[in-house]
Each structure stands twice: as structure tokens, then as C-alpha cells.
Amino acid sequence: MSFNILICDDSALARKMARRNLPDGLASEIYEASNGVDALEIMGHHRIDLVLLDLTMPILDGVGVLEEIKRRKIEVFVVVISGDIQPVMQNRVMELGALAFIEKPLKRLPLETTLKRYGFILPETMAC
């Protein structure tokens, strides 16, 4: 199974790291956006299965993106990747429908663990 993935972060380096940490073969298509407005535009024109979303961005931040996804009833799974690890913010993004919150800088193991938990990656024991 492969998915259309959108990486939304205002840092080109963070987008590159997210792309690099995605498991091989997971993405059929990878889109990138540097702010929330561009991310919503991409979601409006392409079927996106998974969004890796930063919170702190110009124009429209990650919370604003989550609010718009909910308001527009866009069917997409969102994993927030942010350096803002305050419990209040983590609770807020989960209330808005995010699947998980992963702390920056992004590392492969927490991302893979999250993707396995939500069925984007099948555990090796199920591959029979």
C-alpha cells in the first residue's frame, strides 16, 4: 500500500528531513507546502491520505490548518510534528483531530512507530 503524503513545514530543511524519514515505498506521491494556506490548496486539488504538519508557520499555522480541515470536513489523517511540546498544545491538536504528536527534530523511529500504530505500515508479523 502506498499513500499520497503532504509535508507541511515552513522550513525546507524540516521538509527534507521528514521526506528522508518516511519509510521506503510508503508514499506514492509526496507534496510539500511551506504554510497552511498552500497545504489547504494542495488538499483541495489532490487526494491526500496523510499530512505531516508543523504548528509554527507563517500565513496560516498548524492549528489553523487543523481547524480548516475540520470545518471543511476534509478526510485526511494528520500527524503533527512540532517543537512546541507543551501539553496544552498537544491536547489542542488532538482535540482538532490529529492522530499523533511527534516532537521535532523528527526521528525515524517515532515516525515509524506512529505509522504502524495507525495502519500505514503493516507489522512484519502480519506479512504472511
- Total domains in the chain come to 1
- Tell me which H or E stretch contains 43: helix 36-45
Q: Name 52's Cβ contacts closer than 8 Å, sequence gap at least 6.
A: 5, 6, 7, 8, 9, 18, 79, 81
Question: Hunting for cell 486539488 — which residue is that?
Answer: 45
Range of the domain at 66: 3-126
> What pLDDT score was predicted for residue 127?
42
Q: In this structure, what CATH number is given to the domain that contains residue 108?
A: 3.40.50.2300
Q: For 38-96, how does the pLDDT look when each residue is reduced to its tens digit (9 = 90+)?
A: 999 999 999 999 999 999 999 999 999 999 999 999 999 999 999 877 899 899 999 99
Which pTM value belongs to this model? 0.93
